[in-house]
């Protein structure tokens, strides 16, 4: 037995979708009619309405072109096109019923049969919900049949798209269904779950392998910093050492001539602090060259680029 949407539920969907679409189109017609009246009253040129067939425009023909409307035709009012509305509502209803049948169908196999259902429209929220009942196909005792009984819980969700966001320019009502099988486990489900878990584990392993390969490639570039940063810090320390010597000479001359040396002494202190930080980094780079595992430990902590290493030792802008 293949599940088919009960006629009363199909009719409910059709009524709700039709009513919602008529209300939305009628609202648009009323808005257009008011806009048209305002344009006529104020003498504003009417640019016209170009819809998708859901609105009928009534008009009157003039022998002479009407400048206000840029044509011989003067629009009078706008009305819903009920034939187009009903056709669209039926299309949406059929799509919703098909989705419901697919949701139920994915919860039982060819070796099982559906017996009845308790699907209904919940008056509190206007949603279709309930159970579809089934059991294993074939001859068996009542006890054996009881062991194969299952039920499929189904609950509908309304989704709306209005105006320009909708497929028809007015209102599209997309329905979704949440479903869950309860009772006897579906035949082959355990094997399906096992295969899905294996496929998921394989995908995760592949992604992890790709991440590890990228990380190792990055490590290959990062580990050369042990030598590069030693040369860089050594050069910086020598340059700052010359600046400290110049500060000492300037301070000596200022003291000799009884001038204030506060600024020079401050800059000398700051420079000496930079030298201290650089010296710490230089000593560590030499340690890394003898024991690369210590640099790898820093790399694994997330300090995996030169800028991050500079920030770690607070030697930026030196």
Exposed e or buried b per residue across 21-39, where buried means at least 16 C-beta atoms within 10 angstroms of its C-beta: bbebbbebbeebbeebeeb
Per-residue CA distances from 255 to 212, 265, 266, 311 (Å): 61, 11, 15, 37
Residue 52: its pLDDT value, please?
A: 75
Mean pLDDT of the 145-163 span: 88
What is this structure's pTM?
0.57
CA distance 214 to 196: 27
Q: Comparing 57 with 279, which gets the higher pLDDT?
A: 279
In 3D, which of 36, 69, 74, 38 has the Cα closest to residue 58?
Answer: 74
pLDDT, tens only, 39-73: 888 888 877 777 778 888 887 776 666 666 666 56
CA distance 21 to 287: 75
Three-state SS at 249? helix
């Amino acid at each position: 037995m293949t599940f088919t949407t009960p006629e009363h539920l199909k009719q409910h969907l059709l009524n709700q979708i039709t009513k919602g679409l008529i209300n939305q189109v009628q609202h648009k017609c009323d808005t257009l009619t008011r806009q048209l009246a305002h344009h006529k009253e104020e003498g504003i040129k009417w640019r016209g309405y170009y819809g998708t067939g859901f609105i009928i425009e009534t008009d009157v023909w003039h022998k002479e072109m009407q400048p206000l409307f840029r044509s011989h035709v003067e629009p009078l009012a706008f009305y819903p096109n009920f034939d187009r509305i009903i056709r669209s509502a039926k299309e949406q209803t059929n799509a919703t019923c098909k989705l419901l049948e697919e949701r139920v169908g994915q919860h039982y196999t060819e070796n099982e049969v559906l017996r009845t259902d308790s699907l209904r429209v919940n008056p509190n929220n206007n949603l279709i919900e309930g159970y579809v009942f089934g059991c294993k196909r074939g001859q068996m005792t009542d006890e054996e049949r009881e062991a194969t009984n299952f039920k499929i819980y189904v609950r509908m969700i309304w989704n709306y798209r209005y105006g320009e966001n909708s497929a028809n320019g007015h209102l599209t009502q997309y329905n979704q269904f949440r479903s869950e099988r309860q009772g006897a486990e579906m035949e082959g489900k355990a094997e399906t779950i096992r295969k899905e878990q294996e496929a998921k584990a394989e995908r995760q392993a592949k992604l992890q392998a790709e991440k590890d390969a990228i990380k190792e490639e990055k490590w290959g570039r990062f580990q050369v910093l042990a030598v590069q940063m030693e040369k860089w810090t050594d050069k910086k320390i020598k340059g700052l050492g010359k600046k400290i010597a110049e500060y000492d000479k300037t301070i000596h001359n200022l003291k000799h001539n009884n001038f204030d040396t506060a600024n020079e002494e401050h800059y000398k202190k700051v420079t000496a602090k930079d030298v201290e930080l650089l010296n710490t980094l230089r000593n560590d780079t030499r340690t890394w060259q003898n024991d690369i595992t210590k640099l790898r430990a820093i790399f694994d902590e997330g300090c995996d680029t030169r800028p991050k290493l500079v920030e770690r030792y607070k030697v930026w802008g030196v």
